[in-house]
Structure 1
């Protein structure tokens, strides 16, 4: 797959009243892995706002993607870091 774009809805929900009930990622690391096992990493910084956020991410022959949360808004011991939705766009 030729990866082109990534959409992330951070937080528990895109609804404003539910958004702040859990921690939300502020920094992510994307690790793209090709069919040959080659790895590429890209850092992504998210805004602390409900709704989708779009990022250009380019990768060829991608067969696996790992998302790692490096930092979060509203992090506390009684909250979990939430990502409501992740969408990948590309071509075969």
Structure 2
């Protein structure tokens, strides 16, 4: 398994989530890494530090018929619920 340390900042929880997701897209675009395990080490309203684990992209094993190009701000939201948090994010494909 391959892992990367990720640290991002934002001015509120929504911008923080978008920054985290954009970092994952950047790592795929530059290093062809796909992540599926995440460990948050520290989180505040404006900063998150953690580790993402996964593997290199393999065309024979991974079907990427439509890759994510970007995270959009359109209707992005985070809501606190009784079970935890619920986020709404729309991606450009």
Fold-level similarity (TM above 0.5): no
Q: Say which structure, 1 or 2, has more relative contact order (CA 8 Å, 6+ apart).
A: 1
Q: Which has the higher helix share?
A: 2
Using the size of structure 2 for normalisation, the TM-score is 0.29
Q: Which has the higher strand share?
A: 1
Using the size of structure 1 for normalisation, the TM-score is 0.29
